[in-house]
Amino acid sequence: MDMINNEATKLQKDALVRVFERHVRDSDHGDFKNLGFVDWVERDVHPAFSDCIMVAVPNMMLGIEPDGYTHS
């Protein structure tokens, strides 16, 4: 599944970058420490429902709607 290039809307892609920078990039959590953006997307970002993307970040899951709105 190619979430970065084909599966997500532009607004969802922008939100993925924000979520990564806020929750994952500098995390000391064992599952996310030193994890790069592409590796994170391949491992922890999944399509869900009809058009929402679910993403794993330390200690929670977030949903990203097609308009980029992100919620837990």
For residues 16 and 45, the answer to whether their CB atoms sit within 8 Å is yes
Average pLDDT over residues 53-57: 96
Q: What's the confidence (pLDDT) of residue 7?
A: 79
DSSP E strand boundaries for the chain:
45-48, 52-57, 60-64, 70-71
| Whether pLDDT at 67 is above 90 | yes
In tens, the pLDDT along 36-53 reads 999 999 999 999 878 999
Q: What's the confidence (pLDDT) of residue 66?
A: 95
Average pLDDT over residues 6-11: 87
Alpha-carbon distances of 72 from 33, 50, 53, rounded to whole Å: 21, 17, 12
Alpha-carbon distances of 61 from 29, 50, 70, 72, rounded to whole Å: 14, 17, 10, 6
